[in-house]
Amino acid sequence: MKAIVIYNSQTGFTKQYAKWISESAACECVEFAQGSKMDLSCYDTIIFGSWCMAGSLVKLNWLKEKLAGFNKEGKKVIVFAVGASPIENPELPAAMDKLFTAEEKTMVKMFYCPGGINYENMKPFSKFGMKMFSKALLNKKDATQDERQMGEMISKNYSLIDKKYIEPVLAELK
């Protein structure tokens, strides 16, 4: 099996997961800017990782455009999404389910790895959006306890990253 990890990371969480997967699976690991331009015909398995933003996965359209071709070539495609939500978030399965159509789900194995918030590494637009969302939750008059907790959580840096979250991805590679 010849595999490659192609990742898109804004603040470093996705990059760390990609490196852990690459090291554990002894496969190549490249940033999206390079990997999206590569000839991937020599790889049996394509592992794509990116970060979640506003209910979607950044750069996912690139992968979706290639899925049918990968499927015809018999390639295994694995996707790992990295987001700020804890893995126990009850809304997570529904959010992940919306990323792919029913047909696409037959071609992809999908996994979630919790990341966190790192405002120092965030692009200004993302930082502004997250700070505004946090303030909106904290200032909401009829906010639920969960909304208040989320507003407090995302108001500052935190990390939920743990190497144990790549275990399902590694199991899928075998």
pLDDT of amino acid 30: 98
Indicate the pLDDT class of residue 111, thresholds 50, 70 and 90: very high
Instruction: Please give the Cα distance from 21 to 126 (Å, whole number).
Output: 26
Q: Which residues contact 11 (CB under 8 A, 6 or more apart)?
A: 51, 115, 116, 117, 118, 121, 122
Q: What sign for the dihedral angle of Cα 76, 77, 82, 88?
A: negative
| pLDDT over threshold 90, residue 32 | yes
Among 6-10, 70-74, 128-132, the range of highest mean pLDDT: 6-10
| pLDDT over threshold 90, residue 130 | no
Helix axes 124-139, 145-153, angle to 10 degrees: 150
Mean pLDDT of the 4-16 span: 97
User: To the nearest whole number, what is the mean pLDDT of the chain?
Assistant: 93
Q: Which of 44-48, 99-103, 152-156 has the lowest mean pLDDT?
A: 152-156
Instruction: List the structure tokens of 48.
Output: 């794509």
| pLDDT over threshold 90, residue 108 | yes
| pLDDT over threshold 90, residue 114 | yes
Mean pLDDT of the 51-75 span: 92
Indicate the pLDDT class of residue 53, thresholds 50, 70 and 90: confident
Mean pLDDT of the 33-61 span: 94
Residue among 116, 48, 39 nearest 84 (CA): 116
Mean pLDDT of the 2-23 span: 97
Cα dist from 28 to 18, 97, 103, 107, 133, whole Å: 10, 28, 28, 22, 37
Instruction: Please give the Cα distance from 120 to 108 (Å, whole number).
Output: 33
Mean pLDDT of the 84-111 span: 93
Mean pLDDT of the 76-101 span: 93
| pLDDT over threshold 90, residue 90 | no
